[in-house]
Amino acid sequence: MNKNIKKFMSAILVTSIAFGLAACGSGQKAASGVESTQKKDTIKIGYLPITHALPLYVENELAKDNFKETNLELVKFGSWPELVDALNTGKIDGASVLIELAMKAKEQGIDLKAVSLGHRDGNVAVVSPHINNVSDLKGKNFAIPHRLSTHNILLYKMLKKAGLSQADVNVIELPPAEMPAALAEGRISGYIVAEPFGAKAVAINKGKVLLQSKDLWADSVCCALVLRDEFIKNHNDSAQEFVNEYVAAGEKAETKDGQIHEISSKYMKVDQKVLDLSLKWISYNDLKIHEKDYDELRNTLIEMNLSQNPPKYTEFVDNSLINKAK
């Protein structure tokens, strides 16, 4: 072997080692001989910093170091469209997301499965202090975060119960973070949105609770934990481990104890009074998606003309993981 060939061969060897280490995704650790991290899958889960995604924060803080199969990586987003785009393009493997947005993505051909709820209840209709009943909202501005949301459905049900329709109020879409200020300044007379944005207006006495989601729709479905089909199929052990710990994290979240307050404060910048209220309205019990609740959601989406052909329960809900979770 002449000198040039030797040089060429050693260059190839160095390059392949470098690529080999890079490919395992944890070059530093592999080089220092930490075997276990090399073999773990990484599961990337998207979220927005809201009370509705609390089990994810609890799982990330309390359980992820015990994972045998998975490296959990939470990815924070600033808005639903950004999160849904990352989910649709496979930049993340799953997310805690408004279920209606995930259903729309599924309807458009993205292979997603809803494997658990994010929470139960936890949405309130917040109104200006001078609004005393639903009919007072006639002709007023009322905000929701997105047409495709449980918040829009709750508004629809609230108006329907009072003998009104959505044409009787000016429904506007606003970013959630702007809603408490818009109410305080009188630009809107009320809103329904994910927590903690309802509690924010109530805590500073600029708004009051007109109705809670459980008064309007028992067992309402709002956020779901969704995973990409390919992740469930190709990394089933990791998906199972992730859901096992997610369910346990939901049970821990439901205690709403000091540790849960501490964890919440780490992921959401809210003061204690807001957090207390927000946690009072929500529950993390029984996170399985039941068929009758999903069907109620699906039928209402059709009734409201928000979706022509939302996915059926059997096409979209996968209980195989949550059924095995202890």
Q: Contact residues for Zn ion (CB under 5 A)?
A: 52, 222-223
Sheet holding 112-117, edge to edge: 70-76, 41-47, 94-98, 223-228, 112-117
Question: What's at 176, amino acid-wise?
Answer: P
Judged by beta carbon, residue 142 or residue 281, the one nearer Zn ion is: 281
Give the shortest CB-155-to-Zn ion separation in angstroms: 15
Q: Considering the complex, what minimum distance in angstroms separates the CB of residue 222 from Zn ion? A: 3
Q: Measured from the CB of residue 241, what is the shortest distance to Zn ion in angstroms?
A: 24
Per-residue burial over 98-131, b if 16 or more Cβ lie within 10 Å, else e, is bbbbbbbbbeeebebbbbbbbbbbbbbbbbbeeb
**Least distance to Zn ion from the beta carbon of 50, Å?**
7
**CB of 266: closest distance to Zn ion in angstroms?**
20
Q: Least Å distance between CB 149 and Zn ion?
A: 9
Structure tokens at 226: 């969704």
The answer for residues whose C-beta is within 8 angstroms of residue 213's C-beta and 6 or more apart is 121, 122, 123, 124, 150, 154, 220, 222
CA distance 78 to 81: 9
Distances, alpha carbon 298 to alpha carbons 72, 100, 149, 317, in Å: 31, 9, 12, 12
Eight-state DSSP code of residue 257: -
Cβ closest to Zn ion, residue 124 vs residue 134 = 124
Q: In one letter, which amino acid is 23? A: A
Closer to Zn ion by Cβ: residue 120 or 235: 120
